[in-house]
Every structure is written in C-alpha cells, then in structure tokens.
Structure 1
Amino acid sequence: MRRIILVFMLLLIPLLAACSLLGQSGDVSPSPTVTATAVPPPDTPQPVSTIDLGLSEPLTPTKPVLTVWISPEILNASEAGTAVLQQQLNQFQADHPDIELIIEPKAVSGQGSILNYLRTGRNTAPTVLPDLITLPVDQLNTALNEELIYPQNGLIDTDLLGDLYPAGLEMALNEDQIHGYPFVFTNMPHLAINTAVYSDTIPLRWDKFIEIPEQTFAFPANGAPGATLLLEFYLAEGGSLENEAGQPALEVEPLAAALSQISLGRENEFILAQSSNLGTLPETWKLLEGGSTTFVQTSAEQYLQNRNSELAVDFHAIPGPQRSLTPLVRGWAWAISSAEPGKQSMALELMMTLIEAENLAEWSVAAAFLPARRSAYDFWPSRDPYTPFARRELAQARPHPLGPNSKMITVLENALFDVISLNKTPQEAAEEAATALQE
C-alpha cells in the first residue's frame, strides 16, 4: 500500500534512534494508526487539527527517501487546510511509488527549530536531515548564508518567478541567488468592519476616516501589529530605516508626523482608549465581536478564518496620509536543504506539485492564506469580493522590512504606546524612539 509516513519528534523511526542530534528515541510499532498533533502559533484562533496515517508494518525503507520538514503553522493551519494538504501529498506519493515520502512537523523557533537541527545535524547525522523544508521568509537569508539551504538557480523556471507578486519576488531573491520560493503571504494588514453598525463608504485618507461620526477604531497599540501599522505610516511619510552608514535608524520628523496622524484619532476619541492595552489581533477581534467598536485592524488570515461567523463583517484597506497604506507582508517559502542532486530533483518535483497554481489555490483557500502566485487567484472563488481585493493589495504590498523580534519593532511599539496612552506627545515619542534605537 502506497503511503506517506509522518514521523514525529516523540515517535521516531529506528533509523533516527541512534541520532544523538535529536535527543529522542522511540520504536515504531505496527499499530494501525499514528496521530500527529502540532501546536499552532499564538495568534491562530483555529483549533489544532491532526493527520492520521495508517502503518501496517514497521518502516524498512528500500526505496529512495524524500524527507520533508513542514512547520506546524503550515501543516496544521486549519482542519480543512490539513485535509487538502494530506490529499495532495497522498496524490504525489501515488504518482511516485518509487519514492518513500516522509513528512515531519518541525518548529521554526526555539532550540528544536529547523535551522538549529540543520546546523547541528550536518556534521553529526547528515543522513537524517531533510531534503525540502518550509521556512518563514525572514529566515531565508540566514539559512543561505550558513549554507543550510541551497540556491534554486537553474532549478526554478523564470515563469514561476514572474508569476510571483512583487513582494514575493523580492522575498525569493538574495542578490543574484534564488534562496527559496515563497508560496504564501501572511500578516497582510487591513480593516475589518462591523457592517451591522456601519455600511457606508470608507475614506482612503486617514484624516477623513477618523472623522466618521459616532464610530470607533481599535488596534493593538501595545503589540507588534500596532508597530507595523505605525511603520506603514512612517514609510508613507517618507521615512527611511537606515542612516547614511547603513545602520538601522529612524528619522525623527517622519516618525513624529506618523505618530501625529494616529494621535489625532486618539484625541478625538475615534481610537478606543482601550487600544493601549491591546497587544494582539485576537484581542481586537473580540471587541469587534462584542460590539465594543466598529472598525479594527486585522490580518488577512484572521479575517478569512472568522468572516463566516455570525458577525456581519466586511473589509477595507487601512486609510493613510494621502491614500490607503501600502501593506507590509510576511510569508512562507519552500527551500531545498539537500546538497545531493538526486535529492534536489525529488524535492523540486514535490515543491512544483504543491505550488502548482490550482493546488496552491485549493490549499490556500482551505487554510486561509494568501497565495504568493498571481495565477493561483484564477482558481480562488470568482464571486468572492475578497479575491479582487487581495489581488489589488498584493500588487502594491512590500515585504515587511523588520524581523518579528527586531529592536526597531520594540522601539516603535514603545513610541506608539506612549502616544496612545497620552503619556507623550508625538514629537517627544519620536525623539526618544530615534535615540533609543542607537543605544
């Protein structure tokens, strides 16, 4: 029977048992079912889903093995997404009976992260390392520089690169090297609107938006999503992120102008004072559901996961100083982690199957992600108004320039909190932020 063997950190195949790298061991018994449970990211409201695959006998590989490490955020994005991905992997295995396909969930952060395993395993146990992996795009440069992944130059067709949205193409390239292929975008910010309360036109300019009478806006002013919103305003005001020496820096005047824009909404009570206590998007969504506010900052994933609830909710780009803000997005990419040409060929074939436009569309709709390929939207629901909205936003989107844990994100969070909580003026907060970044 053709099968996909899913190997887990606590249930490892005998081949891995001798590997001190993983620091775990276990016997695979001929019990009929193996169940994998992956932990979703903190901001994911979906329940954890599982994949159950039957094993009729212990693993004794006699065929070429293709090992794939997939993060739980992708593998278990949603119950429907897990089912679609499993079906696509099953089909690949059925079409390639000469290959033994092994899928392992692996985290992308912490001591047990994919990159840490690759660092320690390449010298001590290279035979148990993966051939294909998923990585957040902000980890691709590190992985390539440390030779943990291998460039895809000469492997990826130029048409596939041309099909990426501009943000995706920028994510894929490291100077003249293709270090990974982005397949989905994440964290694209936009508004969610309670249409039972407000159904009129949303202005594209922030100063007009905050004048909508008798309505309020909430956002995580004490967390990374709020810092990203401030960063979008800062870039819209012409701010740069480096000084002349190429070091991280913030310009006081553009930052003060960005903070002033947001401060106006707080001063006229359009922005909920409670925003200074909010750190995550799920917290703001609860306020929307509870009727405490009309507009909230959301992300594409959160909106797509929750829009079919009983809440009447719509979407809109976030207004900016002159026009809607340019969204900053993150993403996930497939990367090849084997140096063997034969393994690279097998890994590329699976990757090509999963990023094929129709397959990517089917999985992304089920998993509530935005595909990085333009052609995938040809297979999204054509009558869903979110489809053309996503296309328009992604056509202008830029890769998020800061890592999730960067010092600049923390500095922006602090400046925004001080302004929203009315502790400092925009000018004072901007000056302190610029100074703090240099300390």
Structure 2
Amino acid sequence: MKKTVRIAYFVFLSLILAACTSFPYNPPSPTTPTPEEESAAAATTAPETPAPQDEASQTLRIWLPPEFDPVAETDAGALLRARLDEFEKRRPGLNVEVRIKAPEGQASLLNALNAASQAAPSTLPDLIALTSPDLEAATLQGLLHPIDGLTTLIDDPDWFSYARELAHIQNTAYGLPFAGDTLAFLYRPNPENLSAPNWEMLQEQEIQLIFPADNPQSDLGLCLYNAMGGSFINEQGQPTLDEEPLTELLTFYQSEFISPAVTQYQSDEQVWEAYRLQDSTVAIIWASRYLDEMPADSALAPIPGLEAESCSLATAWIWALAGSNPDLQPVAVELAEFLSDSDFLAAWTASAGYLPPRPTALDSAQTALHEISLVAQPIPSNEIRLTLGTIFRDAALSVVQEHASPSAVAQSALESLE
C-alpha cells in the first residue's frame, strides 16, 4: 500500500502525469499549494501549527482526502470516527489530529507533503493516506519512511496479491493498503443467463463495448496487453513493447462490437454516463464507480481476455509514514494496523464504495468481486504509464478512427520507443 532516488526526474514525471489522469490512478503533480487552496482543503480540521500540549500527551497527525473525512455525515465517516475514538481510548494521553487535504491539484496530499517537508517538517503527518501512484512518487522523492522493521502485517497471507505488491516500492514495504479499486467489466445480466458475456457473445447479441479510448492512461489496453504476456520493461530497465501482443490488441479494437463512440470518451465518468443511457452496451469501468451507486440492473466481472485468461488492473489507497518524529512511528504504524483490521475494513470499505484489499474482509457472497480481486494485477509504474500509456492511446485511436492497419500501427509504436 531508502532506495536510489531520482528526484528531479520524478518531480517532472509527476507534473506531466497529473495533467492527464483522474483517480483511481491520480498521479502526482507536486507544486506548492496556494494559501487559499490549503485553507479550503483544511476547513474542517485543526490548524497547521501544532497545538501546545502537556508533557504526558502526544499528538498523532493524520492527513486524509475529503472522501475519507471522519467528521463527514456519512456511514463511512461515522465508522472511521468511531474507530479513531476507540484507538484514542486504548492509548490514554494520545490525541489523533486529522487534517483534510485535496486529492489532487495544487493543494493535494502529495504537494502539501512535498511543501511541508521543505518548509515546516514539524508539521508533517505521522500517517498519510496516499493513492498507489502518489505512494510511488512520494517514496522516490524521499518523502516517506519504510515500514519494514516496524510491522509484519503486510507479510500476512490475508492480502490480495495486488495489494501486497502496491505496498512495496523497489522491494521495500512503504505502507498498508486499506481501500482497493479494480478495473472491471460492467454489464447487464440476462435474466435467462446471469453469467457475464464474452467477446463472442457481444458479437452475436449486437451489444457494443465502450471504454475511454482517448484517455492517455489506456487502462484497458495495458490490461489486455499484460494478460497476453506483453512486456513493459526490457533487460536494460527501459520501457518496451512486444509486437505480437500489441498487434493482437489493436486488431481487437477493430472488432464490430467496439463502439465508434469510444474515441469520444476520455474519462471513467463519461463512460459511466454513456452506459447508463444506453441499454445495449457493456463498459470497462473502475469498480469504485459501480460500488458508489450499485445499480440493480448491472453487475461486474473480470475483463475477458483476448486469449484464455481474464484480466484486471488494481490500485489502492495506502497508509504511509511521513512524520519527522521517529518516536511516533511505532504509534503511527499501530494505528495503521488498527485501521487495516479485516473486520473493520469489511464494514468501512462497503460504506466507502471501495474493495477491501484483504480477502477475509470481502463478503463471501460477492463472488465476482472476489474473482476480480484475485486476477487483478497492480497498475504499472508511473514511468510506464506516462511513457507507454499515450502510445497505447494514440494507437487505439488510429485503428478505430482511421481504420489503420493494426500491424502497421504496432510497428510504428515500437519505432517510437527506439
């Protein structure tokens, strides 16, 4: 949910990524927040300057995005508020101070973390909630502390494999995942056959597939390409592509059941709205979009593979350590463990509209969600998504809009990396 750091490169990388993405893979965009944005983001929280306290008390500072605000009048907010209160009762003299930061933009969690580390390290959060792309960026900028040696919870078998992998950066554990999200196949079950349709069935039933083809993240393309065994990194550690699976992917994009409208969609939100308005469609969507509303006429399934196996990509929100006081790290980790408890996550993720990253926290009746979580692979690194995502996007638009030759487009894509 330190190694060699290439700070300048990854700050630059973060700036570019932020311009072209939306959560769940909201990449980093480190810039210094303006006072106005910082004030708005923290309207419901304590002041930035630490409050005076007596010698017997301790303050543990947490940074969260607005959707996880414990004082929000939501079921998820009430559950988190009660959990934090319980933790304080278990530790007399400890005050848990929550500050709310925007998930993206100039006053985002990552940008505020970067700014505080330079200007006021004493105000850094002891525990911070970060998306997996932001966890990667913050780690490579030297803003986080490893959790290795402080907890063994991430080694527990009760994690989906994607969650455990997302918590590690360069083979070192940097956090505990607490909210998962997966790329999924959204469809309307046939009353006579409740199973999810495969690609052949879409062709037979004249159902069209929609997805955000004009999104530079290219989640569907990366998912299908990866499921076919396509490589993202060569032996020199540089971004690469394999011609055969890429050509097969681009040929798939010219299937009759691919809606021509996919070239107009740039976001999950646009696809969701289009799906709701068009009965004869299926869609590729992030599970959190569905879980937020859970329409009764729809269901999720793993994405059918172009070969035998189905696929999915996954991201997560992850608890991480960022505080400047090493004496508080054990307490911060203890709280992260407390907030990652399977029983708590079962109730909280259901209320928050996310998937639990731990199998025992997922309702056993949710077989489709369990299957998606099992096959899900972690989203590629920020560097891969930046470098290859736009190549996948441009290639998809070429074969769908211009009806270009898949093999010729694939060859051009490979040449662009040389």
TM-score (norm 1): 0.77
Task: Quote the Cα distance in structure 2 between the aligned partners of 1:125 and 1:99.
Answer: 22
Task: Quote the Cα distance in structure 2 between the aligned partners of 1:371 and 1:213.
Answer: 34
One-letter identity of the residue aligned with 2:98 = I
Gaps of 5+ in 2: 1-31
CA RMSD of aligned residues (A): 3.1
Residue in 2 that maps onto 1:303: 290
Pairwise mapping of residues 331-342 of structure 1 onto structure 2 (< 5 A)?
331-342=316-327
Q: Please state if 1:291 is matched with 2:271.
A: no
Task: Quote the Cα distance in structure 2 between the aligned partners of 1:249 and 1:288.
Answer: 34
Which of 127, 132, 138 aligns to 1:143? It is: 138
Would you say the 8 A contact 2:184–2:372 is kept in 1? no
Task: Quote the Cα distance in structure 2 between the aligned partners of 1:201 and 1:66.
Answer: 48
Which of 283, 300, 322 aligns to 1:315? It is: 300
One-letter identity of the residue aligned with 1:373 = R
Would you say the 8 A contact 1:221–1:279 is kept in 2? yes
Residue in 1 that maps onto 2:14: none
Which of 72, 76, 91 aligns to 1:81? It is: 76
Q: By how many angstroms is 1:365 displaced? A: 0.4
Which structure carries more relative contact order (alpha carbon 8 Å, separation 6+)?
Answer: 2
One-letter identity of the residue aligned with 1:349 = E
Distance 1:86 1:229, change over 3 A: same
Residue in 2 that maps onto 1:250: 241
Which of 209, 224, 232 aligns to 1:217? It is: 209
Q: By how many angstroms is 1:157 displaced? A: 2.2
Pairwise mapping of residues 94-109 of structure 1 onto structure 2 (< 5 A)?
94-109=89-104
Would you say the 8 A contact 2:178–2:356 is kept in 1? yes
Would you say the 8 A contact 1:336–1:347 is kept in 2? yes
Task: Quote the Cα distance in structure 2 between the aligned partners of 1:307 and 1:139.
Answer: 28
Residue in 2 that maps onto 1:14: none
Distance 1:292 1:320, change over 3 A: same
One-letter identity of the residue aligned with 1:156 = T
Residue in 2 that maps onto 1:352: 337
Residue in 1 that maps onto 2:264: 277
Residue in 1 that maps onto 2:12: none
Would you say the 8 A contact 1:317–1:324 is kept in 2? no
Distance 1:224 1:388, change over 3 A: farther
Residue in 2 that maps onto 1:71: 65
One-letter identity of the residue aligned with 1:331 = A
Which of 365, 368, 380 aligns to 1:401? It is: 380
Q: By how many angstroms is 1:219 displaced? A: 1.6
Distance 1:185 1:99, change over 3 A: same
One-letter identity of the residue aligned with 1:403 = N
Q: Please state if 1:202 is matched with 2:196.
A: yes
Distance 1:79 1:423, change over 3 A: farther
- Runs of 4+ aligned residues of structure 1 deviating over 6 Å after TM superposition are 50-53
Residue in 2 that maps onto 1:363: 348
Q: By how many angstroms is 1:201 displaced? A: 3.9
Which of 89, 103, 127 aligns to 1:132? It is: 127
Which of 328, 336, 353 aligns to 1:343? It is: 328
Q: By how many angstroms is 1:429 displaced? A: 2.2
Q: CA-to-partner distance for each residue in 1:149-169, whole Å, 9 max, x for gaps?
A: 111112112575432211112
Gaps of 5+ in 1: 1-20, 26-35, 40-49
Q: CA-to-partner distance for each residue in 1:22-75, whole Å, 9 max, x for gaps?
A: 7649xxxxxxxxxx9769xxxxxxxxxx9799x9xx965333111111123544
Q: By how many angstroms is 1:184 displaced? A: 2.0
Q: CA-to-partner distance for each residue in 1:393-422, whole Å, 9 max, x for gaps?
A: 222221111439613111111111122223
Residue in 1 that maps onto 2:53: 61
One-letter identity of the residue aligned with 1:416 = A
One-letter identity of the residue aligned with 1:316 = A
Which of 214, 218, 231 aligns to 2:222? It is: 231
Q: By how many angstroms is 1:80 displaced? A: 3.0
One-letter identity of the residue aligned with 2:252 = Q
Distance 1:289 1:145, change over 3 A: closer
Distance 1:346 1:313, change over 3 A: same
TM-score (norm 2): 0.80
Task: Quote the Cα distance in structure 2 between the aligned partners of 1:68 and 1:277.
Answer: 40
Residue in 2 that maps onto 1:376: 361
Would you say the 8 A contact 1:288–1:294 is kept in 2? yes
Task: Quote the Cα distance in structure 1 between the aligned partners of 2:229 and 2:212.
Answer: 23
Distance 1:162 1:82, change over 3 A: same
Q: By how many angstroms is 1:224 displaced? A: 4.6
Would you say the 8 A contact 2:188–2:297 is kept in 1? yes
Residue in 2 that maps onto 1:190: 184
Task: Quote the Cα distance in structure 2 between the aligned partners of 1:237 and 1:59.
Answer: 55
SS in 2 for 1:263: coil
Would you say the 8 A contact 1:132–1:334 is kept in 2? yes
Residue in 2 that maps onto 1:416: 396
- Count of aligned pairs: 379
Task: Quote the Cα distance in structure 2 between the aligned partners of 1:172 and 1:159.
Answer: 8
Task: Quote the Cα distance in structure 1 between the aligned partners of 2:350 and 2:229.
Answer: 35
